[in-house]
Amino acid sequence: MATPLEDRASHARKPPTPLLFSAAWDTPGASIADARAAVRTLLARAGHHPDQRPSQDAQLVVSELVTNALRHAPGPGGLALEVIPDAALLRVTVSDSSPRPPELRAHDAGRIGGHGLRLVTRLCDQLQTVALETGKRVVAHLRLYAPAH
pLDDT tens digits for range 33-48: 999 999 999 999 999 9
The whole-angstrom separation of Cα 51 and Cα 141 is 20
- Structure-model confidence comparison of residues 10 and 112, the more confident one: 112
Instruction: Kindly report, residue by residue over 12-22, the tens digit of the pLDDT.
Output: 455 577 888 99
3-state secondary structure of 58: helix
Enter the CATH code of domain 18-101+115-143.
3.30.565.10
CA angle 142, 148, 149 (to 5 degrees): 120
The whole-angstrom separation of Cα 32 and Cα 56 is 14
Instruction: Give the pLDDT band of residue 2 (cuts 50, 70, 90).
Output: low
Instruction: Give the pLDDT band of residue 30 (cuts 50, 70, 90).
Output: confident
Instruction: Compute CA distances 142 → 28, 40, 83, 84, whole Å.
Output: 26, 14, 10, 11
Instruction: Give the pLDDT band of residue 9 (cuts 50, 70, 90).
Output: very low
pTM of the model: 0.83
* Residue 20 bridge partners (DSSP): 6, 82
What are phi and psi for residue 30, nearest 5 degrees? -60, 145
Write down the domain spans for the chain.
Answer: 18-101+115-143
Instruction: Kindly report, residue by residue over 81-106, the tens digit of the pLDDT.
Output: 999 888 899 999 999 999 999 888 77
pLDDT value at 132 more than 90: yes
